[in-house]
Amino acid sequence: MRRFRLAPLAALNLLLVALILAVGLPGMFADAVRLPSEVTIHELRMGQPVAQAADESAIGRLGWAAITSNAARADLALAMLADATDPNSTEYRVAGDHAARQLRTYLAAVPGDSRAWANLALAEMRRGTGGAAVIPFKMSVELAPSSAVDLVWRCGFGLDLYPLLDDDGRAMLARQFRLAMDDGLDSSISEQVARTVWEHNAIPLVWGFVADDPATAQRFTTMLARIK
């Protein structure tokens, strides 16, 4: 009976394929299993945990992808941070430290990811290190200044961060509010921003951002009237 034997070159090729699969697959699948960043942002802002029932499968795959992917490690850390909802717990502080560290590692390789900068700003704020959130917040705006998807959280987060912002940061935030009240924007976004202003008791401040343009000021007034 003849035994099947691989030629040395064939054996080497199989070994290379196995190595590629072992190292490459987690990274290949990382983008496919990342948690929706906008959901993570909402949950971090609201202090709500990630819906484990809905995301359990994705989180499990993220754990596998995190073996080689900085992006997956950062998203997994954000999920842990969103789950830590008690500001007085050790878990809350540790999760914040871990998320900030993983996001900075990811951003060192991909500095153009505006959403990751936004997540870093939120992670720093959740850690209680608001001063460290200023630069990430400004970077998120600078990289995607006209992102309608991010307007609601940027405006709300910017109001939370306002006392710590420098003049440049405050000017950037003012432009975000003016953009949020643009006539060409979906009115639901404008209304959400107006509600955020109302909840922050920041109408006088934001009025100063929009009052110079009659159309923008009128839209702001109209949106406020809808929520009162």
Quick one: tokens of 163? 């006392």
Q: Which amino acid is at 4?
A: F
Q: Is the whole model's pTM more than 0.85, yes or no?
A: no
The per-residue pLDDT for range 158-176, each reduced to its tens digit, is 999 999 999 999 999 999 9
Ordered structural domains, the chain, with CATH: 24-142 (1.25.40), 145-228 (no CATH)
- The residue with greater pLDDT, 106 or 169, is 169
Residue 44: pLDDT above 70? Answer: no
Q: Where are the alpha helices (DSSP H) in the chain?
A: 8-33, 37-46, 52-65, 70-83, 90-109, 114-127, 134-143, 151-161, 167-180, 187-199, 203-210, 214-227
Q: Which residues, 6+ apart, have CB-to-CB distance to 153 below 8 Å? A: 41, 42, 45, 118
Angle between helices 37-46 and 151-161 (to 10 degrees): 30
The pLDDT confidence band at residue 126, using thresholds 50, 70 and 90, is: confident
CA angle at 148 for the pair 52 and 175, rounded to the nearest 5°: 125
The pLDDT confidence band at residue 40, using thresholds 50, 70 and 90, is: low
The per-residue pLDDT for range 181-199, each reduced to its tens digit, is 998 889 999 999 999 999 9
